[in-house]
Amino acid sequence: MSVAVVGLGVVGARVARQLTSSSIPVLVHDRRPDVQLVTAQALRARPIDSAIDVRPDEISVVVLATPSGQSSLTRRLVERGVSVVCTSDDVDDVRHLLDLDDVARANGVSIVVGAAASPGLSGLLVAELASRVDVIDEIHVGVHGTGGPACARQHHRALAGDAPGWHDGRWISRPGGSGRELLWFPEPIGSRDCYRAELADPLTLHWAFPSASRISARVSATRRDRLTARLPMMSPPHAEGGIGGVRVEIRGSRGGERRTEVAGTAERTGIISGAVACAAAVSVLSSTLPTGVVVLGANGLPNGAILDDVIKRGITVFEYVGSGA
């Protein structure tokens, strides 16, 4: 069975390349005909005329690597009996995707929500660290860098939005750009000032780890980023950002003692997202994921195997082990 990749930007092109390198037949679609043609020829993939032009008997999974607004197309694909891997990190879009659980179950397919760097890898890292504690009380995510232009615009809007968070059994909303905290990412990123932002990680992580009493997410930003967040972008975004990073910190207890565990990665955001989306698509193909909405990191999923696949695709995961002092 084949995988269709819709959207051939920084993330989608890498997903298609990773899949073809794994000898999986790939179909590609992009709203830009020239990009679609070049990518199809380079990867020996078959182009399709429309994102909805898929047949369940031919295509098992569709990876959506388009800009935000994936919920509507996802519903249409699911109703046709096709599983979908979504890379959206827009809060409203993710909310709508999570609401499609009953639709996906009724059609016997899977919707992987948040198969990118953040959300996506963040959930896999939490699941990996969860084995170090008996109980998880808090989950805190830090994000640095952006992927392609659409990701950069989303990052810009996130600092001006309302930051969702899960706090002692209820949802809270705080202003984006507030709550400054110095977070340390793996080198070469190092320390960065991070702020609350309109990020989707609290939504997906609460779905995956409902017992955690506090969940937050912050994004790195400069003073200029914060001052201009409510204005149009002053300069066009780069074709691909520099080194990005995801940092996950969990707090809990083991044997009655408080524990804090930290892990993260430093790599171009597009590369991270491409590896995670590809690994999720492979898991759907191998029928190791349940029907309905799937959030990476949730209990009962083969999170270790998926994370191993991500690592094999070139993503190095670091764990903070202390100074040894």
CATH: 3.40.50.300, 3.30.70.100, 3.30.360.10, 3.40.190.10. Which one for 121-271?
A: 3.30.360.10
Radius of gyration of the chain measured on its C-alpha atoms: 19
What does the angle CA 249 – CA 252 – CA 253 come to, to the nearest 5 degrees?
A: 140
| pLDDT tens sequence for the chain (325 residues) | 799 999 999 999 999 999 999 999 999 999 999 999 999 999 999 999 887 877 777 888 999 999 878 999 999 999 999 999 999 999 999 999 999 999 999 999 999 999 999 999 999 999 999 999 999 999 999 999 887 777 777 778 888 899 999 999 999 999 999 999 999 999 999 999 999 999 999 999 999 999 999 999 999 998 888 877 777 776 667 667 789 999 999 999 999 899 999 999 999 999 999 999 999 999 999 999 999 999 999 999 999 999 999 999 999 999 998 765 4
Residues 6+ apart with CB under 8 A from 265: 121, 125, 186, 245, 246, 272, 315, 316, 317, 318
Buried b (16+ CB within 10 A) or exposed e, 120-148: bbbbbbbbbbbeebeebebbbbbbbbbbb
CA distance 277 to 116: 6
Q: How much is the pLDDT for 68?
A: 74
Task: Out of 3.10.310.10, 3.40.50.720, 3.40.640.10, 3.40.50.150, select the CATH number for domain 2-117+272-312.
Answer: 3.40.50.720
CA 22 to chain CA centroid, nearest Å: 21
**In angstroms, what CA-CA distances link 44 with 22, 23, 101, 150?**
13, 11, 34, 26
Among all chains, which residue has been given the structure tokens 């810009």? Answer: 156
Torsion of CA 269, 275, 281, 282, to 10 degrees: -170
Domain ranges of the chain: 2-117+272-312, 121-271
Given this model, what pLDDT does residue 325 score?
A: 47
Around Cβ 46, how many Cβ atoms within 10 Å?
13
Angle at 69 between CA 198 and CA 59, to 5 degrees: 130
pLDDT for the residue numbered 151: 77
Strands (E), 151-302: 162-167, 170-175, 181-185, 190-196, 214-220, 243-254, 257-268, 292-294
What does the angle CA 281 – CA 286 – CA 287 come to, to the nearest 5 degrees? 100
